[in-house]
Structure 1
């Protein structure tokens, strides 16, 4: 098997274009095309559909991509295993929901960095759905996401439970029922966020269809707009404790079972458990 050809194939799938792949790899476009054709000849199947908008993976192409990612992950793990020692070192890529990263992780991350300065820790924030994809595709070593997670290739451990509440400006009158959200603007993270999904489940359960839903890319933006009276959001109480204490935000209880969400740490079952990852997990246990 030609690993070089597989790397080119992987880059083509990532960029979605032979032209862009050639530019990224600094190869002639004809060389990239030739390597793809050689792979198709080797496997005796088409790996891409060619059309006016570019290329799309065939079913066989998706299968090969899955094996390709696993092959390169095994190569990377073999290098890590040869270097891995009892003292954690090297890269560690962790994902987290933004709310967890803002409130729950700073002290623990500072403690970890102090204990293991040789670890090059990278923290990526984003919604649960994004992190599930990244862990499954070996792009992250692990991630804090909303649980429970039901996937045969992932291991999970519950690290904490968050209590959720509706968040409004301080002057907002008490919210007695979720039906009062019918004519209000909802402030949410982008699609894939577990809190947004929980809010939508609650609304759907009560037959409530709000007038408008505004998406934001950061926690601070949502909190700022809530303070200004722009709309209502569903967030963990831990995120707004300071703002509620200083009187700039108000919380309104959520109904069971929409008032609780577990935060779990996920990792691939087949991924190498490096010393850096093991110590990281032990810290949160």
Structure 2
């Protein structure tokens, strides 16, 4: 099987369009079409349905896409493996929850960058679901996510446990239970966020229906809106500790099963342990020990 044909197929499937694939690969559309036809002839099966709206993977194409992703990743790993194994260098893509990135990682990243300047480290923040997808599809070398994670293709390493608190305006009276909350608007991160899921589950278990759920992508925006009296939120105490000390918000302890959030570091079981990743793991373990 020709690797270039496989790459064209994989890119076309990802882009969902021959024209978009051609643009990404810097090929003519006719060239992309021809290479896909070559691969279909080689495999003696149709890989795409062609229709007015574009293209869709056939069952054979859906089967091949999983193998193509793994094959192309192994080729990339092979290139890395035969390089200079003594010096950490090259790209390293790490995912993280926003809370972990903002509070727990700056010192670690600063030290790592100082000691291994040849590594091009990228930190991508987002919810757990996004990072699970990124690690499973070889887009990330590893990620800090909410745990525990149970997946046959992943390994996890416990990092920290976060105390979860209800966050209200400073003027809000003490909260002994979730029923004492006076504001019925909840402020949350986008879908896929574990903190959002915890808050929704906690309210549902207590039979409380929020009047409105407002979604924000920024931590500072949520804290600012809570401070202004717009609503309440559920976050790790470490994320709002500074704002609480500044007198912007008030934090309330919760004492049930939702009071703790676990953060773990995940990787694929078949991840190539490059010098860049190996040294990052060593620094991470030392930092959180």
Same-fold call, TM cutoff 0.5: yes
1:257 and 1:33, CA in 2 relative to 1: closer, same or farther beyond 3 A?
same
Q: How many residues align?
A: 285
Task: Quote how far apart the aligned CAs of 1:58 are.
Answer: 2.9
Q: In structure 2, what is the Cα distance between the partners aligned to 1:28 and 1:114?
A: 44
Is this contact kept in 1: 2:97–2:125, CA < 8 A?
yes
Match of 1:229 in 2: 229
**2:38, 2:181 → 1: CA distance?**
58
User: In the alignment, which residue of structure 2 is the partner of 1:275?
Assistant: 275
Distance 1:232 1:58, change over 3 A: farther
Partner of 1:197: 197
2:42 is the counterpart of 1:42: yes
Aligned partners of 1:169 and 1:13: how far apart in 2?
48
* Counterpart residue number, 2:249: 249
Q: Is the 8 A contact 1:187 1:216 kept in 2?
A: yes
Measured after TM superposition, the shift of residue 184 of structure 1 is 1.2
Q: Are the equivalent residues in 1 in contact too, given 2:69–2:137 (CA < 8 A)?
A: yes
Residue segments in structure 2 that go unaligned for 5+ positions in a row: none
Query: Do the aligned residues in 1 keep the contact of 2:243 with 2:249 (CA within 8 Å)?
Result: yes
Aligned residue in 1 for 2:118: 118
For 1:83 and 1:89, the matched residues in 2 are separated by 10
| d(CA) in 2 for partners of 1:99, 1:46 | 46
Aligned residues: CA RMSD: 1.7
Residue 159 of structure 2 corresponds to residue 163 of structure 1? no
Q: TM-score, normalised by structure 1?
A: 0.94
TM-score normalised per structure 2: 0.93
2:187 maps to what in 1?
A: 187
Q: Does 1:26 align with 2:26?
A: yes
Query: Against the structure 1 CA distance between its residues 59 and 254, is the aligned structure 2 distance closer, same or farther, given a 3 Å change threshold?
Result: farther
Deviation at 1:182, TM superposition (A): 8.7
